Amino acid sequence: MAPTIPKHAKVVFKGIRFDVYHWRQRLRNGSYTTFEGVRRHYGVRVLPVIGNKIFVAKERLIDGRTIIGTFGGLVEKNESPLSAAKRELLEESGLKSKRWKLIQVEEPIRPEGVIDWKAYLFIARDCKKVARQKLDISEDIEIKAVTLEQLLQISSTWGEFDLKVLREARQSARGRDKLRKFLFG
C-alpha cells in the first residue's frame, strides 16, 4: 500500500536523498494535528544481460567495504524510472540496451505513511558496450560477468532490498525457470 503523504503537504526540508513533509490532519475527535512524512527519491536497479551472462557491479565503497550488486541509482527530478535506469546503466557500465523489461517494483517494509520510497528493478537484454564508464567521484565500480547460478549465490547477500524474483529462483526450480525467462527472454 502506498504511503499517505497528501498532495497538499508542504516540504519543510529538501535534502539530497530525502524530503520531509508536514501537513495538517483532522483527527477523529474533530481536532487537528501536524503529521510528518518522508519521501526518499525513488531508486532504480538494473541487471544487464549479454548472451547467457548477467553483469553485476563490484563496488569498492569509500568506507573500505566491497559489495557486489546491481547497477543503479536515484531517479532524478522530471525523469521516469526507465530513463533513470538507462542513464545509470550507461554511466556505471558503458552498456546500452534496446530491450528493457521492468520485473519488479519494490516498496521496502516501513511504517505506513511515514516513508514513501520505491525501487524499480529492470532487466536490460542484448546489451552492447558503447562507452567508457562515467562514474561519480565517490564511485569505484568493476563490471563482472556471472552465470545465473552465480547470480543466485551472490544475490543472497544483497541488502539493497528484497528482490522477490531472485528469492523465488533460489527456492525452487520453477522460480529459476521464471528468472531465466525474465533474463534471457
Q: Are residues 19 and 101 in the same domain?
A: no
What global pTM score does this model have? 0.83
- Say which DSSP state 28 is in: T
Contact 165, 102 (CB under 8 A): no
CA gyration radius, the chain? 19
Distance between terminal CA atoms of the chain? Answer: 30
Residue 143 has pLDDT above 80, yes or no: yes
Find all residues with CB under 8 Å of 13, minimum gap 6, and list them. 19, 20
Q: Are residues 77 and 133 in the same domain?
A: yes
Report the distance separating Cα 2 and Cα 92, nearest Å.
30
Contact 117, 107 (CB under 8 A): yes
Q: Mean pLDDT, the chain, as a whole number?
A: 89
Q: What is the pLDDT of residue 1?
A: 43
Q: Are residues 160 and 84 in the same domain?
A: yes
Residue 11 has pLDDT above 90, yes or no: yes
Closest-CA residue to 59 (of 135, 140, 134, 154): 140
CA count, 13 A, side-chain hemisphere, 27: 6
Q: What is the pLDDT of residue 85?
A: 98
Q: Are residues 72 and 22 in the same domain?
A: no
pLDDT tens digits, 76-107: 989 999 999 999 999 999 999 999 999 888 87
Q: What is the pLDDT of residue 109?
A: 60
Domain that holds residue 123: 42-105+116-184
Which CATH number goes with the domain that contains 68?
A: 3.90.79.10
pLDDT tens digits, 18-48: 999 999 999 999 999 999 989 888 999 999 9
Q: Are residues 35 and 51 in the same domain?
A: no
